[in-house]
Chain A
Amino acid sequence: MDKQMTAAEMVAQLEDGMTIGIGGWGPRRKPMALIREIVRSDLKDLTIVSYGGADVGMLCAAGKVRKLIFAFVSLDFIPLEPYFRQARQSGALEVMEIDEGMMLLGLRAAAWGVPFIPTEVGLGTDIITQNPDIKVIDSPYDNKEWVAMPALKLDAALIHVDHADKRGVCQIAGPDHYMDDWYARAAAKTFVSCDELVDTGYFKDPAIARQVHWERSATTGVVHIPGGAHPSSCPPQYGFDVAHFKTYTGSAKTDEGFKGYCDQYLGESEAEYQQNVGGLEAIQSLALPTY
């Protein structure tokens, strides 16, 4: 089976009003080429589920997001994501603000086909008071109350990996796969961009096979986009682009705002974008971060 498609073909499978999960974490291994393709499209009214970074900021700034399900939106070394803040502070964004672990449980519940997973996380906090849709229930087994974290069913998940084959076998060789396996399993369709497209024989090495975190049946489509995580990181290939993130966050302080950023960098295609940010070689030579 050949699951290769273009980024535009992937975005063409998305519809207004869909719930879309985005893999990665903050400024790390985000499917940014696919995010850019959404920014270029006329999609709207999306519900986004993400451990958010510039993916969330850009989609908010481009007016694509009706509702955001989040625990944080941050670029880590730049703690506050400016376009996410603008969207929140404008009052226009509908939100479901939850704990990082609750998001994991919601994705698991969706993946496992159960309506909720009980947890004590969120009790006693404004996560419960500000989310009337998250119910607190009595346990049939003890005298405590528990948060019933609802399943976060995704119409689609977007994920960037370092290696994949055309059948949808995906390797994450970087230090952490985050919750990407749960995003893939929680989604009706999972679209993956990869830095390197490999032959299936590549996965014969057991050490590599162990870095495959979901079965190919959970991958709907694969697109080969070297540098596709830029400006987020894709270790071991490249780190995040500190200078570009600073330019991006700086653009939020200008009158032109995100439109000015897009005019300068977005381009009509990923090839144009990469040219505008200094080329693929420059992306691939970005140093890995030290924590």
Chain B
Amino acid sequence: MTNPTTDYSLAELCIVAASKAFENDGEVLATGIGVIPRLAASLSMKTSNTDLMMTDSESFMLSEPNPLGAREDRFVQANESWMGFSRIFDNVWSGCRHAMLGPTQIDRFGQSNTSALGGSYQQPKVMMLGARGFPGNSISHPNSFFVPGHNTRVFVDGECDFVSSIGYNPERMPKGHSLDDVKIGLIITDLCVLDFGGPDHQVRLVSLHPGVSAEQVQENTGFTIHIPGSVPVTAAPTAEQLAIIAAMDPHNQRAFQIKDNPAGDRS
């Protein structure tokens, strides 16, 4: 860690914190859905885990991540193979992938919901996307979550209204599978970093963003989290990391991902 800075946004802090999810993955496909997860994967591929693989979010595997948004006409992306959607599933089912996604609900088991809210299954109050690839991702390879607005509507009391992805729920464990087969990495939010390292895979507070208290995190979470005796502050980005993020996001899309684009240090 060289040159920690003081002038950085919360989005940039989250990108750096989220990039740690991929650090020890080795040679796997990192899929970051959304601006902050994609920048986190890109940052990791350029710094902490240069063996990481990424696609162009369309159909080619790249040896260098693409910057986000419109690029100059003369830009040539660094293709290394074709990687259409049908082939993505071959990769998913091999387990050599780590996705970072933003579901609408997450429960204490790490189960998540992208499909429907409220009402009944036949007639949901709010229909969203559908289960997408969450069921397959969750049982095949590690997944992490990014939550731009940490509150009790996302981190729900009880189970998700619809369970799109498998988590550490003994009641739902399929025959021949154990809780240890489930691999959920980090949850990065606008308040903190969480993982499932508490007793019996309980959600655990890993670090607090500068200016956020453990009480504030607990108040905004619909279930009890494990709070260790001493919780570190999320590491500030270095100047080098900020420079890479700026180069990967030349149109500053990261400024629009967290409400009001707050400063990283809110103390």
Interface size class of A (residues with CB under 8 A): 35 or more
Q: With a CB–CB cut-off of 8 A, which chain B residues contact A277?
A: none
Alpha-carbon distance between A176 and B176 when the two chains are bound, in angstroms: 36
Q: Which residues of A contact B74 (CB under 8 A)?
A: none
Distance to closest chain B CB from A288 (angstroms): 10
B86 touches A98 (CB 8 A): no
A123 touches B131 (CB 8 A): no
Bitwise, A168-193 to B at CB < 8 A (1) or not (0) is 00000001111100100000000000
The answer to whether B121 and A70 have CB atoms under 8 Å apart is no
Cα separation A72 to B136 with both chains bound (whole Å): 14
CB-CB < 8 A to A234: which residues of B?
none
CA distance A154 to B134 in the complex (A): 25
Q: Are A125 and B129 in contact (CB under 8 A)?
A: no
Q: How many Cβ-Cβ contacts under 8 Å join chain A to chain B?
A: 148
The reply on A91 being an interface residue by CB < 8 A is yes
Within 78-123 of A, Cβ neighbours of B (below 8 Å) are at 79-80, 84-85, 88-91, 97-102, 104, 119-123
State whether B136 touches A121 (Cβ < 8 A). Answer: yes
Stretch at the interface among A138-146, A256-264, A278-286: A138-146
Contact with A along B132-144 (1 / 0, CB 8 A): 1111101110000
Interface range on chain B (Cβ under 8 Å from partner) = 35 or more
Which residue of B124, B126, B127, B177 has the most chain A CB atoms within 10 A of its CB atom? B127
- Cβ of A122 to closest chain B Cβ, rounded Å: 5
Beta-carbon contact of B135 and A122 below 8 Å: yes
Minimum Cβ distance to chain B for residue A88 (Å): 4
Report A-chain residues with C-beta under 8 Å of the C-beta of B69. 290
A88 B173 Cβ-Cβ under 8 A: no
Of A74, A119, A144, which one neighbours B175 at CB under 8 angstroms? A144
Within the assembled complex, what's the spacing in Å between the Cα atoms of A71 and B137? 13
Tell me if A25 counts as interface (CB < 8 A to partner B).
Answer: yes
The residues in B between 79 and 123 inclusive whose CB is less than 8 angstroms from any CB of A are 84-86, 89, 92-93, 111, 115-116, 119-123
Q: Within the assembled complex, what's the spacing in Å between the Cα atoms of A123 and B167? A: 11
Closest to A84 in B: B127
Taking the complex as formed, is B60 at the interface, i.e. its CB lies under 8 A from any CB of chain A? Answer: yes
Which residues A127-158 have CB closer than 8 A to chain B?
A: 127, 129-130, 136, 138, 142-145
Does B51 interact with chain A (Cβ within 8 Å)?
A: no
Roughly how many angstroms separate A125 CA and B69 CA in the complex, as a whole number?
Answer: 35
Bound state CA distance, A105 and B92, in angstroms? 13
A2 interface contact, C-beta 8 A: no
Complex contacts, A88 vs chain B, CB 8 Å: 116, 123-124, 127
Top 3 A-B pairs, shortest CB-CB distance: A144-B176, A91-B123, A124-B166
B residues whose Cβ falls under 8 Å from a Cβ of A: 56-60, 66, 69-71, 84-86, 89, 92-93, 111, 115-116, 119-136, 138-140, 162-167, 169, 172-177
